[in-house]
Structure 1
Amino acid sequence: MTEAKPIAPVVFIIFNRPDLTEIVFKEIARARPGKLFLIADGPRADRADEAERCAQTRHVVEKVDWDCQVFRNYSDTNMSSRDRISSGLDWVFAHTDRAIIIEDDCLPDPSFFPYCTELLEKYEHDERIGSINGSNFTHDRVAIDNSYFFSRYPLIWGWATWRRVWQNYDLSISRWGTLRETDWLRTVAYPDEFGHWTKAFNRVFEGGLDAWDYQFTFSQWLQRQVSIQPRSNLISNLGFRPDATHTVDASTVAGLPLEGLNFPLRHPADRAINFSADEIYLREHCFRRKKENGLKRLARKILPGT
């Protein structure tokens, strides 16, 4: 039997929900990564009990009972998710060249960690690949022959990437000021989503959006990179509830069931984007689509020769 490879460094982003943190941390402990990076935001000044809840949450992750280097980046004051996560990942990638990243409300299937670890190694030097996702929102409606497929969309409920990708990340998306006056977005975005991304990038550029993930999408598209998605869903978001920062409302993707991957992984023969899976994500989680062939034309622009 082949000995399992050590799990890649894990980043755990926490805030003020000790109950969810404990649930997710148990799965991290099962994976036993050799390096653990902990990022925590501080309490908001106008929330009377939040300092105590932040302290309780940090206490949960002190229970590291395996051989592990632990690195901590804790803020005494509230930075907002935009600045806390982006600055925390800047810190992480100053210390490691790859990482698996998970937030306190995203419960991973046990296979998520070896899946990310193997693909971080396999695609370490492949500049076409920007990230590895843990989520799959197709609900088994797309037949996938291999263990994973390629997508235009980076999904950040449990994901992984490399320093080589993060070094292109720009929180203020400064290049958008020039690019929005050109046809650049039309070369990377499907026509029906052009308006959505224009508005989103404008809000980020103008400082009106407490988000860090739109910027990652912008960066990945700017580099003409794609994401890897697993054939089955490896992340269940438990955080859709009233005390959430963003995921307050009910959602069809809240608490999705987990379905583990089998090993050894079956790798695709090429980097072709899965149009059917992207179409579902586009239709159900972004915007209405009109014609599948628009996605195919776009894929050929992003990955010539596919």
Structure 2
Amino acid sequence: MTETPVVVIAYNRPDKVRRLITRLSTLKPPTIIFAVDGPKPGRQEDELKVQEVRSLVELINWTDRVETRFQPTNLGLRTAVTDVVSHAVSLHGQAIIMEEDTLPGANWFPYAREMLERHRDNSRIEHISGYNLVPQRFLSNGLEGSRLTRYPESIAWATWDRAWDKFDGSLDWALNASVAELARIVGSRAGALRWKQNFADAEANRISTWAYRWIASLWSRDSFVLSPNQNLVTYAGYDAGTHTLMKAPWSELSLYEGDLRQSLSGTADLDPRADEWVGKRVFAENPFGVARGVAITAALAARKMNRNRRVLAQRGLS
């Protein structure tokens, strides 16, 4: 198999990074790219936390194949993620990506590596997820190890250079796609309208997201995500996430302890029932979600305005 680096994306949460590295020390991935975004200007506390996170590279002592990618200044989530993923796949052809507030189960890396190898030349699949949210009762075939989905999970995932090289950060397709075109993908007009809101928030930089741009890139090519039907990763980002406004409206599933690869067939099929659950429960693709999206957009706009005012005040321009 091709050597596959594990990319750790971190910023200013040393406790979470320390916990992730401790977990990685039990799994011992042989190649690590440790990427840490730079501190925000004028914030001494932020700078100290970033320095502490960077120092944690010393805990990666089970391999000598460690590369650091420390940004001198703050790029923001959107640019920091796209920068290191582009770097990793350009060197290795593929990568497994872990954000700082995740904990991989024992089966995530073996599953990701095998799926990367198995589907390397399958242009229909461009993303492999490790974090499954869908309960078994909402799956069409829970006994099958994997399914295809339209929705990539962005906290623990893997991809190839052949897919990531087509990443389009401009959102041109998303902003110009018709409601009917989006409805064909997500299954409902309400869902299409909700995604129009999401893409507009991303384009206006009300949220610093690479993930919506990646979703749009996948949808523009009518490509799919491969997702496990069991959960392989734990997430702990809702207590202190920079870009988190509210707690998730779902319950995280327990980690799967078996070897998921034993239940994999040669193919995986799209599961419309599971996607309907994700669309409604995770992305609020319903009339209430559209209405709430208006309020979320207003809150994001207000937060962005206040942030800009603080920056101007720090520069003595207000």
- Fold conserved (TM > 0.5)? yes
Report the number of matched residues. Answer: 284
The residue aligned with 2:200 is: 202
Moved more, 110-119 or 183-192: 183-192
Q: Is the 8 A contact 2:127 2:158 kept in 1?
A: yes
Q: Which amino acid aligns with 2:264?
A: H
Please identify which structure carries the higher helix content.
2
Q: Does 1:113 align with 2:109?
A: yes
Moved more, 253-262 or 110-119: 253-262
Q: Which amino acid aligns with 1:262?
A: D
For the structure 1 residues 197 and 248, does the alpha-carbon distance in structure 2 shift closer, same or farther, using more than 3 Å as the test? closer
Moved more, 28-37 or 221-230: 28-37
Q: Which amino acid aligns with 2:82?
A: S
Instruction: Map residues 58-69 of structure 1 onto 2, 5 A cutoff.
Output: 58-69=54-65
Q: Is the 8 A contact 1:97 1:162 kept in 2?
A: yes
Instruction: Map residues 66-85 of structure 1 onto 2, 5 A cutoff.
Output: 66-85=62-81
The residue aligned with 1:101 is: 97
Q: Is the 8 A contact 2:249 2:282 kept in 1?
A: no
Q: Is the 8 A contact 1:36 1:68 kept in 2?
A: no
TM-score for both structures, normalised by structure 1: 0.85
Q: Following the alignment from structure 1 to structure 2, what is the Cα–Cα distance between the partners of residues 194 and 182?
A: 5
Per-residue CA deviations over 1:175-195 (Å, capped at 9, x if unaligned) read 445x33685434423223110
The residue aligned with 1:281 is: 278
Q: Following the alignment from structure 1 to structure 2, what is the Cα–Cα distance between the partners of residues 247 and 39?
A: 21
Q: Does 1:237 align with 2:235?
A: yes
Please tell me the root mean square deviation across aligned C-alpha atoms, in Å.
2.3
Q: Does 1:215 align with 2:225?
A: no
Deviation, structure 1 residue 71: 1.6
Deviation, structure 1 residue 45: 2.3
Deviation, structure 1 residue 174: 3.3
Per-residue CA deviations over 1:33-61 (Å, capped at 9, x if unaligned) read 22211111111224331111111111112
Deviation, structure 1 residue 119: 0.4
Q: Does 1:154 align with 2:149?
A: no
Per-residue CA deviations over 1:240-285 (Å, capped at 9, x if unaligned) read 11x3201353224476532234254322353321122112111211
Moved more, 158-167 or 80-89: 80-89
Per-residue CA deviations over 1:137-179 (Å, capped at 9, x if unaligned) read 12332351122211111111211111111001022223445x3
Paired residue secondary structure (1:66)? coil
Q: Following the alignment from structure 2 to structure 1, what is the Cα–Cα distance between the partners of residues 251 and 58?
A: 28
The residue aligned with 1:173 is: 171
Paired residue secondary structure (2:91)? coil
Paired residue secondary structure (1:131)? strand
Q: Which runs of 5+ in 1 are unaligned?
A: 291-306
